Amino acid sequence: MLNKTMSRNCVDFIDDAKITSIIENTREDAGRVRAIIAKSMEKKPLEVEETAALIAAESPELVEEIFNAARQLKKDVYGNRIVLFAPLYIGNFCVNDCKYCAFRRSLRSTVRKTLSPAETIQQVEALEDVGHKRLILVFGEHPDYTPEFMADTVRTVYTVKKGKGEIRRVNINAAPLDHAGFKTMKDSGIGTYQIFQETYNHAMYQECHPSQTHKGDYLWRLDGLSRAFESGCDDMGIGALFGLYDWRFEVLGLITHSLHLQNIYNVGPHTISFPRLRPAHGISLDQKNLVNDHDFKRLVAILRLAVPYTGLICTARETAEIRREVMQFGVSQIDAGTRLELGGYSEKDRKGQELKREQFQIGDVRSLDEVMGELIHEGYIPSFCTSCYRLGRTGEHFMEYAIPGFIQRFCTPNAMTTLCEYLEDYASDEVRKSGFELISKELEKMTDEKQKKMITERIAEIRIAGKRDLYF
Ligand code: SAM
Ligand code: SF4
């Protein structure tokens, strides 16, 4: 039985009228926008009102300045790494009735399935076979998907070792739990626990999530990650489903949520996701609030400037072209080789999606190797690094951006060694060749001779001695 005790400082921190009034009363002001950009460039998180000022900047020149600043901030703060992961849907039974989702309970024609432990192993093996190291497990909300079941699934995933493959980090996207449930999840060794608020607007939330369903409880969901933190899960992912309500409201909702976590727990969210609503089996939705590509790029750039320390995730819901563009503005994680149908990763010969088995239609259907090839071609270092969370560098201790030189000392070397593993074990000939060229170029760029030597030695250990999982 769910214990409906809220977090210690539980409060509904989303004031719809206030957010709406900030949006309506903020006018474009070039001088203010430039001052706010200057603050972001010092890596200081923005307040809600400052974020609203960036949103109000609509003239092409100012929008271009925001894009350029986001590009620059991304380079300064993050370097050229992109972290790769894959989603793994474990079960799509659901007691909720979210009006945008093909898994909603009233949709009888959806093909329902929960992977058995043996089927989960089969899927994980298929993912390891192509080189994945980081997964996010996705669950509907259902009495069968108890914290114990989800925790057992996490443990099962970590045991699967095929060839040189293994999964080193398992994240979760599932319903909000009670304190004990989050503790059970933490004890199973998860990385991030992701919960998307879907829409921060109360009225729209109620419209999308019938009140007699679990998910109909706005505050239980809003408070979810606070309970997670209090239960030891200090690695939290927030998100909004863009397209349900005014995108400007959702951006300010995300920033309010992020500031709330930061103020109460001294730890902001580790990641922010901004999925855009996609067509899905059995769904016909009001198109009125769909976000166009231009505004989508703006919102990614604005989020980058507003929360310099937070990872930004852009999933395969977006096309390859849009992902390419928003990666420049600071997206730090993407999924690749994505299959949403339950059991889909082992169905090697099937082309295209089978929407009755899936949550929504995706925009980027390329394989992991194709995505790796493109990233390398564009000068990014694709990374499968999992070092920080395994060394306990999470929550308050997560210093990736905060400590000067951290990225050069840890992130870039770990990206290079995990890329090297991928190139040795899984890459096509072409990707292998271009990947090793990229590694050589990155080594040439390094000015710290001691570090260069250390990384060169690690790469040799991987390539010649066959060692794996070496991290800084
Ligand atoms: N059942 C869990 C929950 O609701 O929190 C897991 C969420 S679901 C499997 C993952 C996310 O997919 C949802 O939080 C929602 O934001 C998103 N989603 C659902 N339907 C979608 C659609 N039609 N297009 C794009 N994203 C969608
Ligand atoms: Fe269920 Fe989640 Fe889909 Fe809502 S979004 S119907 S809770 S799987």
DSSP string, 266-333: S---SEEE-PBP---TT-----TTPPPHHHHHHHHHHHHHH-TTSEEEE-TTS-HHHHHHHHHTT--E
Distance from residue 240's CA to the centre of ligand 2 (Å): 14
Q: Which atom of ligand 1 is nearest to the CA of 196?
A: 14
Ligand nearest to the CA of 195: 1
Average pLDDT over residues 243-255: 98
Rounded distance, CA 198 to CA 181, Å?
22
CA distances from 460 to 388, 419, 470 (A): 23, 13, 11
Ligand nearest to the CA of 96: 2
Residue whose C-alpha is closest to residue 92's, from 114, 117, 118, 122 = 114
Determine which residue's CA is closest to atom 20 belonging to ligand 1.
Answer: 101
Q: Which 3 state secondary structure label does DSSP give 29? A: coil
Rounded distance, CA 324 to CA 461, Å?
33
Rounded distance, CA 340 to CA 359, Å?
7
**Which residue shows structure tokens 């380079």?**
75
Residue 46 contacts residue 40 (beta carbons within 8 Å)? yes
Confidence grade of residue 411 (pLDDT, cut at 50, 70, 90): confident
Rounded distance, CA 433 to CA 423, Å?
8
Rounded distance, CA 262 to CA 267, Å?
5
Which one has a higher pLDDT value, 156 or 447?
A: 156
Residue 417 contacts residue 458 (beta carbons within 8 Å)? yes
Average pLDDT over residues 93-104: 96
CA distances from 118 to 26, 85, 139, 213 (A): 55, 22, 17, 31
Q: Which 3 state secondary structure label does DSSP give 212? A: coil
What is the pLDDT at residue 471?
80
Q: Is the dihedral of CA 414, 417, 420, 425 positive or negative?
A: negative
What is the pLDDT at residue 400?
57
Average pLDDT over residues 381-385: 95
Among 95, 100, 104, 145, which residue has the most ligand 2 atoms within 8 Å of its CB, making it the best to mutate? Answer: 104
Among 173, 192, 244, 339, which residue has the most ligand 1 atoms within 8 Å of its CB, making it the best to mutate? Answer: 173
Q: Which 3 state secondary structure label does DSSP give 82? A: strand
Rounded distance, CA 172 to CA 238, Å?
12
Q: Which atom of ligand 1 is nearest to the CA of 89?
A: 9
Q: Which structure tokens are listed for 7? A: 């977090």
- The structure's pTM equals 0.96
Q: Which 3 state secondary structure label does DSSP give 170? A: strand
Residue 323 contacts residue 335 (beta carbons within 8 Å)? no
Within the chain, what is the greatest distance between any pair of CA atoms?
A: 63
Rounded distance, CA 186 to CA 182, Å?
6
Burial bucket for residue 70 (CB in 10 Å: 0-12, 13-18, 19+): buried
What is the pLDDT at residue 315?
98
Q: Which 3 state secondary structure label does DSSP give 4? A: coil
CA distances from 301 to 122, 127, 164, 297, 313 (A): 39, 31, 38, 6, 13
Residue 394 contacts residue 237 (beta carbons within 8 Å)? no
Confidence grade of residue 358 (pLDDT, cut at 50, 70, 90): confident
Ligand 1 binding site (Cβ under 6 Å of any ligand atom):
100-101, 138, 140-141, 173-175, 195-196, 198, 241, 275, 277-278, 280, 283, 317, 359-360
Mean pLDDT of the chain: 95
Determine which residue's CA is closest to atom 6 belonging to ligand 2.
Answer: 104
What pLDDT, in 10s, does the model give residues 12-42? 999 999 999 999 999 999 999 999 999 999 9
What is the pLDDT at residue 408?
75
Domain ranges of the chain: 74-367+389-401
Q: Which atom of ligand 1 is nearest to the CA of 280?
A: 23
Q: Strand runs (DSSP E) across 112-182, as ranges?
A: 134-139, 169-173
Rounded distance, CA 102 to CA 433, Å?
41
Residue 422 contacts residue 382 (beta carbons within 8 Å)? yes
What is the pLDDT at residue 357?
87
* 395 pLDDT above the threshold of 80: no
Average pLDDT over residues 253-274: 96
CA distances from 452 to 79, 424, 449 (A): 17, 20, 5
Asked if CATH classification 2.60.120.650 holds for the domain at 74-367+389-401, the reply, yes or no, is no
Rounded distance, CA 414 to CA 393, Å?
14
In one-letter notation, the amino acid at residue 422 is Y
